Structure 1
């Protein structure tokens, strides 16, 4: 899916705009009424149908490929859950499975296949697809662009640094190794403490 974003998105000129659109999709498919969620999904499917291209090695790709959509879905859901377990209110294994079952409806509506309905299935799907993952100049540039993106203001710099470091910390060991990233061991207590404080502030604000 990185190729589709690389070839058909203006994320390098408007990263925050791209992130806002993604956040809006998540919010509308999670919290909005059914009609709004279905319209949002239909709009994204329409966009995906127009996105196609060829990888640097000559392999063709399509944004509506069921397996690619499944990869995006499962890694997003895994990441959201991992962040919630560390910085939110931890949930039980049974509740994790409910989470995957409920979010599967969105993935299916987008055309993803296969779609996991439990943590066990999610981890199995990630493991099964790891052999297809590739690190190249594009992935390195995107990672550098995201992690090195300047804050919108000096006041936001400490919070952004903590959140970015926390994101790297949440990655599985094999994913950090692929990208050549290091867990911030020396500053890990500070990173996790700062991020937890930020998370608590957000939860308080939304209440």
Structure 2
């Protein structure tokens, strides 16, 4: 299955699910935030065996990770920047695919991808990962900004079925603490990290930073989740890697990418194409 085509420039004037002055528009334009945050989000999801096995055994990630990441990335961009009608249609397609995902974990627990708790957790991990990745390596965000990002994610989250997703960072922490007793380590986590070290996930100019971005994702995990996943100090960022990520993340805040979803969405709304960058 290829990456779906999505035109962020049409229909002219149609609003997105998130406003141009939102934290979400700021965060999702930055490739370092997406790279770091994506790793963190997947690790948080994989801590729960129900999500872990649902993804690993019902998707092409183990065999074609790059295509899987591109499809997921396109869905995320459509959710933030796409016209509401087109984003809703794409999200509905995702829901139909998820409706077929069910099974039993290797630990013996049944799961369904459309389980409300799992949908809420996946939504929460995405908001946490991308927002904390941005705040750590790209630009300063206050606690109020981070809470605002969680609040902004609730409207698109409901379209995915995540009707009970946390609306702030405290809510994320409470949900994580409630699920923590069910989290488990797994060899799949290390298979995922090995793939992320090897696959050409970042744009060519940023590819030398990919290994650092993987470890940056680990660095922003809540310590108790990192401990459960058995990601010890050998997975720490080196000081040089941390400096490189921060330099690249902050540099990306100043470079408007004309053909990016953020720029095209601004064009659709009659705004300057650098709107998402000017908000930073």
Task: Give the TM bin, normalised by the shorter chain.
Answer: 0.7 to 0.9
Secondary structure in structure 1 of the residue aligned to 2:198: coil
How far off is 1:55 after superposition?
1.4
Which residue number in structure 2 is paired with residue 149 of structure 1? Answer: 198
Q: TM-score, normalised by structure 1?
A: 0.87
Unaligned stretches of 5+ residues in structure 1? none
Deviation above 4 Å: which 4+ runs of structure 1?
Answer: 150-157, 183-187
Which residue number in structure 1 is paired with residue 169 of structure 2? Answer: 119
How far off is 1:119 after superposition?
1.5
Alignment of 1:109-188 (within 5 A): 109-146=159-196, 148-151=197-200, 158-183=208-233, 188=238
| Contact 2:137-2:245 at 8 Å conserved across structures | yes
Matches of 1:174 and 1:197, distance apart in 2:
28
RMSD, matched Cα? 2.4
Matches of 2:234 and 2:186, distance apart in 1:
23
How far off is 1:176 after superposition?
2.4
1:39 to 86, 89, 95: 89
Aligned length: 206
Matches of 2:164 and 2:236, distance apart in 1:
39
Distance 1:28 1:185, change over 3 A: closer
Unaligned stretches of 5+ residues in structure 2? 1-50, 258-273, 275-280
Secondary structure in structure 1 of the residue aligned to 2:114: coil
For the pair 1:200 / 2:250, whether they are aligned, the reply is yes
| Contact 2:54-2:102 at 8 Å conserved across structures | yes
Listed one character per residue, the Cα deviations across residues 107-157 of structure 1 (whole Å, up to 9, x for unaligned) are 2211124211111112111111111111133334334433x4255799866
The structure richer in helix per residue is: 1
How far off is 1:195 after superposition?
0.6
